[in-house]
Amino acid sequence: MNKPIVPEGFDPNANHAATAPAFLSVWNVEAYYGESYIVQNISFNVHEGEILALLGRNGAGKTSTLRTIARLDTPALKHGEIWLDHKPLHEMRSHEAAAAGIALVPEDRRIIPGLTVEENLQLAQIAPPRGWSIDRIYDLFPRLGERRKQEGVTLSGGEQQMLSIGRALCRDIKVLLLDEPYEGLAPVIVQEIAKTLNIIRDQGITTILVEQNAIAALKLADRAVILDTGSVVYDGSAQEVLENEALRAEYLAI
């Protein structure tokens, strides 16, 4: 098994509420589906306002890591700590993690059938604390504004992705967890979404981007963490991964 990569600044003996070294610190996290040990002692830091690309081959554990950070019931977190802005996510249930500012946009986008674009956004704003106004979401994604009265599930794949990101922004979030946002999208739509993710970063929101389209993710990201069979095998700059052919070939098969 790979030796775990330890992020800088984490003192295992410290009180991490005070000393967590980054805005989001994932420390020695182990998570299981039943008896299956899937997230295997993962540690990494995410700094406020950055985009982190979380990469790795199929089955490397990317989705499971995002689900663990969002504190969904599965996989079950059995060991480790996750700190968001000095708050212990590892002690929270998913609704508490959401209230603390974590927003997971899952791969299947979860647009609510029978509701228009605007109703999908309004529903996301029902419970405070509210985030962006619906007009601000339409400024970010003009296509959604043009289609505000259209049923959400009849949108194109790219528009549905915009709607699910827009829905996350309707709440007052600190960290956006995006699971394969580019899946099935044409390159021109990928570029359009990447542009909006840059704008979202400029607003101070921190993003973890899980993506099979590693090149597109690396071009956008500040840093990259690469997983292999549930463990971290690289933690460093996204640019370095783009430039390091051997690393890409070994862990990303590109």
Q: What angle do CA 15, 3, 8 make, to 5 degrees?
A: 40
Binding site for ligand ATP (CB under 6 A): 33, 36, 38, 56, 58-64, 74, 212
Q: With respect to ligand ATP, which residue has the nearer C-beta, 65 or 120?
A: 65
- Cα(176)–Cα(165) distance, integer angstroms: 9
Which C-beta is closer to ligand ATP: that of 229 or that of 239? 229
The arrangement of strands across the sheet holding 87-88 comes to 36-46, 24-33, 76-84, 87-88
Q: Are 164 and 109 in contact (CB under 8 A)?
A: yes
C-beta of 55: minimal distance to ligand ATP in Å? 9
- Least distance (Å) from ligand ATP to the CB of residue 211? 9
Q: Angle of helix 117-124 relative to helix 157-169, nearest 10 degrees? A: 30
Nearer to ligand ATP, 15 or 58 (CB): 58
Residue closer to ligand ATP by CB (options 118, 211) is 211
Give the span between the Cα atoms of 41 and 19, in whole angstroms: 20
Q: Check if the beta carbon of residue 90 is closer than 8 Å to that of residue 81.
A: yes
Query: Minimum CB separation from ligand ATP for residue 99, in Å?
Result: 25
Cβ 249 to ligand ATP shortest distance, Å: 18
Nearer to ligand ATP, 72 or 144 (CB): 72
Q: How far is the CB of 179 from ligand ATP (least distance, A)?
A: 7
